[in-house]
A and B are shown apart, each in its own frame.
Chain A
């Protein structure tokens, strides 16, 4: 990011950028949350998002402020939705029913296709529901692609936030991280095929750590025990894994949706590219990458893998500033002036990612704020 502008002009440009983010987030947040709760909560959420945008634009620290926003969004989801399952103080408001989990979408893709076929043949149009979800997914994929996993996923925020807590990793994954890097893709293929074969939500039954219940597991003792075992294994990968390794273990190695987005994310034009001429092969970026998505290419240069979720951590870690956001690997032409510096791939991407992430989080973040206010006894 340009650093030669005067502080006042830089602040003005950052303010303009924050305003650009604030307007759509306030509009959609008011629309979504305002159906059931005061629009003041939507305003608070939009201000928080705009504050994040301002901090990123004024400091150039994309990942640091992204992580605060992302973790706050995930925490709000936990407060509002998960705790509402346990306590009536946290009444689910914006969720009339259990929200549809996007992670489940990928492993059941073949089942959806089969449902669409049945709906088409039987005229049961109500079964076409997944198509609207598919349209939402397509919009998200085209606008932020793999960035979903670092900016919007309400589960990824937990993993990401926890991975930032330890100063140093207690366990180093080393070369095993890259050896097992294709595991989520393999899990995705396996779950798609087995879910179709058994007509069962195999991911939800066997691996999902977020269900936090055994209510819909198999009733047979042996199978139920195995399902609990895998659930706790995945929960440990989600909670303990990042604390021990500083890596997003669940998102990197177990989440089928991460693999799904890694495949389809190429529809999105934004990339993180490396200036190979200046790369010294120090591997600082690979060490810092929470997704283990940077490998060492032949010749010692860093190479971004398909699993990169555009979090921006490598931008801050690289001592030579070799990493940058690009559009299909190309930089946008530099424009002069205070506002001209906003016309960069980085700002375009951060705008898209923050807006999509914040609008999606409007389903629960304003309501979570309401829950907290209610809990403290405020009117």
Chain B
């Protein structure tokens, strides 16, 4: 099991830059929109995002291992564009409705249900299910192994290494102000529209 963890970790280390570039357009605007000039607060958002991403990875580890056991060695073609569209729609919703983890949407002017305050978790989850090339490489390895526990170990290592690459995104956040929040919200909107259009195009065309 430690060997598989190391293997996943090494895969993450060798392909971490691609994970970083794939995750940044989602995480950076969200941190800009929601972050404060308090490092701990932003770190909390980051941890929640990683938590959501971890859940998605473990879910995929489970599904891939089960699929491998069942002899199903191919991902459905609609999965990537569908996850991309889901991710984009969520980002558009956060930005357009001004939904925030800290306060209610201005459209409603009332406190949000605590369920909705787990927004970074949701964003992390949809990021995690948006398949990037390194993720696909790990996924194929899991299909071969066809063992749930081994899959968890492998993807756990992969998750740990790729998270190291994503963490520098926190460096700029202690300087976030209200202007940066507004820029982040607009960026989130644009990035959300971008991913929605690409996802829908993949589904429909």
A residues near B (Cβ < 8 Å) are 182-183, 185-187, 189-190, 193-194, 196-197, 199, 222-223, 226
**Cβ-defined contact, A186 with B201, below 8 A:** no
**Cβ-defined contact, A193 with B205, below 8 A:** no
Measured CB to CB, the closest approach of chain A to B41, in angstroms, equals 20
9 contacts between A and B (CB under 8 A): A182-B179, A185-B186, A186-B189, A189-B32, A189-B184, A193-B28, A199-B21, A222-B205, A223-B201
| CB contact list, B154-188 vs A, under 8 A | 179, 182-187
**Cβ-defined contact, A189 with B187, below 8 A:** yes
- What total of A-B pairs shows CB separation below 8 Å? 47
Q: Of A186, A196, A199, which one neighbours B24 at CB under 8 angstroms?
A: A196
Q: Which of B21, B22, B29, B201 counts the most A-chain CB atoms under 10 A from its CB?
A: B21
CB-CB under 8 A for A186 and B190, given A222-B201, A222-B205, A223-B201: yes
Q: Of B182, B190, B197, which one neighbours A190 at CB under 8 angstroms?
A: B190
Closest to A202 in B: B194
CA distance A199 to B22 in the complex (A): 11
CA distance A314 to B185 in the complex (A): 30
**By the criterion of a CB under 8 Å from any partner CB, how many residues of chain B are at the interface?**
21
B residues near A (Cβ < 8 Å) are 21-22, 24-25, 28-29, 32, 179, 182-187, 189-191, 194, 197, 201, 205
Q: Which of B22, B183, B190 counts the most A-chain CB atoms under 10 A from its CB?
A: B183
**Cβ-defined contact, B25 with A194, below 8 A:** yes
Q: Which residues of A sit under 8 angstroms from B22, Cβ to Cβ?
A: 197
Q: Of A197, A199, A222, A223, which one neighbours B25 at CB under 8 angstroms?
A: A197
Q: Of A189, A197, A223, which one neighbours B29 at CB under 8 angstroms?
A: A189
Q: Report, nearest first, the 9 A-B pairs whose CB atoms are least far apart.
A: A186-B186, A193-B25, A186-B187, A197-B21, A185-B183, A189-B187, A190-B190, A196-B21, A193-B24
